[in-house]
């Protein structure tokens, strides 16, 4: 097996310089780093993870904490983060908190604080002051994804603006009888995503001079089954059937589409439907949606974290980073029937 000394001889540098160049720790010029990497590639040199960990105190392993893994959005974020981490030579350890409070305490009080990970990405989780300070005190950099975390780089998306954009699309088409299927305030997720999207809907309706009646907003749980159940009840009403539905997630929007079809209604002729996410099934259902690019979100979160782990090679990340979103118009929305 090729050793670090052989790489050093071929590159014309010291073994210590090879170690710094390949680990990202310490100051090495771009030209020297390129020469070392070229020599390592020519000799098929592989850095020993054990030796590297002992020398640097780092494991090159990042913990990613998610509230759910059985939702398309979160699995897509993890896929994007893993892609960026592997590209930069880091492993990923996943912590799924769907088990509840005891599981969360175990992860933050024990697993993440042990020397198992170098840093942490928290996805759609409002961390407590103790959880944040506990990690930072152990020199474990942290990145928040989905909303602001005090004192650490956070990648945020404007949930109100997303919902306003989706609603404005329906208003632009001429719809006024719009139903919003969104999250429950009693069971709101971290960062109040459901509440913010409901606020965006209300703002767009109010700006258009339209009343927002209580019955025009239904609380659901962001699943396809719940979207189906609520949409079927609303669309089956003999007197107050909406001409359009804005669902706070694509999964609920797809459920609403299936409910409309089961009732013999045409989408978009009888009812227009728009969602949020750009789910992997959105194109199949020709669903108009506001894309928020979860895989890219995961990549950006990982890249932001690596910038903290390798400060000599990257600029210091900003504390607040806005995330992009985009209206994608397909054939589930159209002007209402006259």
Q: How confident is the model at residue 58 (pLDDT cuts 50, 70, 90)?
A: low
Q: Which of 281, 290, 288, 291 is nearest to 335 (CA)?
A: 288
Residue 329 has pLDDT above 70, yes or no: yes
pLDDT tier for residue 312 given thresholds of 50, 70 and 90: confident
**pLDDT average, residue stretch 122-127:** 92
**87/52: higher pLDDT:** 87
Q: Which of 5-9, 70-74, 233-237 has the highest mean pLDDT?
A: 233-237
More confident residue, 32 or 169: 169
Kindly tell me if the per-residue pLDDT of 149 is higher than 50: yes
For residues 43 and 3, give the distance between their C-alpha atoms in angstroms, rounded to a whole number. Answer: 9
Closest by CA position to 73, among listed 268, 282, 255, 214: 282
In this structure, are residues 66 and 103 in contact, taking their beta carbons and an 8 Å threshold? no
Phi, psi of 288 (to 5 degrees): -70, 135
What does pTM read for this prediction? Answer: 0.81
Q: What is the pLDDT of residue 199?
A: 95
Residue 221: its pLDDT value, please?
87
In this structure, of 38-52, 72-86, 321-335, the range with the lowest mean pLDDT score is: 38-52
What is the pLDDT of the chain when averaged over all its residues? Answer: 89
């Amino acid at each position: 097996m090729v050793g670090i000394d052989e790489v050093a001889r071929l590159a014309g540098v010291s073994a210590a310089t090879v170690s710094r160049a390949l680990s990202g720790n310490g100051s090495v010029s771009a030209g020297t780093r390129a020469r070392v990497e070229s020599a390592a590639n020519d000799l098929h040199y592989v850095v020993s993870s054990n030796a590297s960990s002992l020398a640097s105190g780092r494991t090159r392993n990042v913990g990613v904490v998610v509230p759910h893994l059985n939702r398309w959005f979160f699995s897509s974020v993890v896929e994007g983060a893993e892609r960026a981490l592997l590209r930069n030579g880091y492993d990923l350890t996943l912590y799924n908190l769907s088990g509840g409070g005891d599981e969360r305490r175990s992860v933050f009080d024990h697993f993440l604080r042990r020397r198992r990970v170098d840093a942490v990405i928290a996805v759609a989780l409002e961390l407590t002051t103790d959880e944040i300070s506990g990690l930072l005190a152990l020199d474990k950099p942290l990145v928040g994804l989905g909303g602001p975390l005090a004192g650490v780089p956070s990648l945020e998306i404007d949930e109100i603006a997303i919902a306003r954009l989706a609603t404005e699309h329906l208003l632009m088409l001429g719809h006024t009888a719009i139903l919003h299927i969104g999250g429950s305030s009693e069971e709101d997720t971290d960062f109040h995503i459901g509440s913010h999207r409901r606020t965006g809907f209300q703002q767009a309706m109010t700006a258009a001079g339209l009343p927002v009646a209580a019955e025009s907003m239904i609380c659901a749980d962001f699943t396809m089954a719940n979207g189906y159940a609520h949409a079927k009840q609303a669309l089956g009403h003999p007197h107050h059937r909406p001409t359009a539905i804005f669902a706070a997630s694509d999964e609920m929007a797809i459920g609403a589409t299936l409910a409309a079809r089961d009732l013999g209604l045409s989408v978009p002729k009888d009812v227009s439907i728009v969602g949020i996410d750009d789910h992997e099934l959105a194109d199949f259902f020709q669903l108009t949606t506001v894309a928020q690019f979860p895989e890219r979100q995961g990549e950006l979160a990982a890249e932001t974290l690596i910038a903290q782990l390798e400060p000599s090679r990257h600029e210091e990340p900003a504390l607040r980073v806005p995330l992009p979103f985009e209206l994608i118009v397909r054939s589930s929305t159209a002007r209402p029937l006259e």
